[in-house]
């Protein structure tokens, strides 16, 4: 496996791992996230649920979606040694999917959003390098 492909593989695993941590945080703290977004409620709130509790299902759905994207990136990276041509396309698409997470991270911690932007862009660029194209196209290097 050429060096640029190894770097792309590690990069995708790191991005997937960070997304998995974010997804687990969303799943385990869904009420806290929903309360931070929709608020506590006031006297007009029904007796049994606050807006945060009522909207926590949306946060759980977002957490499951983030975990699915993380699993996609990690699975694609783990299959790189098979050299299947569609894996390069999957890695490229995963890079484009990782890019919007920059906005989510930027809203939470701005410096984290800037730090996330660089690997996300690299995940878009690296599958199109000549070494990556040759590796996944089964061409001799």
Model pLDDT, residue 107? 77
Model pLDDT, residue 70? 93
Distance CA 128, CA 44 (A): 56
pLDDT digits (tens, 9 = 90+) for 105-118: 787 778 888 888 89
Do 97 and 18 touch, CB atoms closer than 8 A? no
pLDDT at 63 over 60: yes
Decide which of 48 and 67 is more confident.
67
Do 21 and 63 touch, CB atoms closer than 8 A? no
CA distances from 133 to 50, 73, 80, 89 (A): 53, 18, 12, 10
Model pLDDT, residue 7? 92
Nearest of 92, 22, 94 to residue 63 by alpha carbon: 22
**Mean per-residue pLDDT for 42-55?**
65
pLDDT digits (tens, 9 = 90+) for 13-43: 999 998 899 889 888 887 777 777 666 766 5
pTM above threshold 0.95: no
pLDDT band at 139 (very low <50, low <70, confident <90, very high): low
């Amino acid at each position: 496996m050429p060096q640029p492909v190894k770097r792309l593989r590690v990069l995708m695993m790191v991005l997937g791992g960070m997304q998995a941590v974010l997804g687990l945080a969303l799943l385990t703290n869904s009420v806290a996230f929903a309360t931070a977004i929709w608020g506590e409620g006031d006297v007009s709130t029904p007796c049994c649920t606050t807006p945060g509790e009522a909207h926590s299902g949306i946060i759980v759905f977002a957490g499951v979606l983030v975990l699915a994207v993380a699993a996609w990136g990690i699975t694609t990276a783990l299959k790189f040694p098979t050299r299947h041509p569609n894996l390069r396309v999957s890695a490229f698409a995963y890079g484009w999917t990782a890019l919007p997470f920059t906005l989510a991270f930027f809203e939470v911690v701005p410096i984290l959003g800037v730090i996330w932007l660089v690997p996300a862009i690299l995940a878009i660029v690296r599958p199109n390098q000549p070494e990556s194209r040759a590796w996944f196209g089964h061409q001799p290097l």
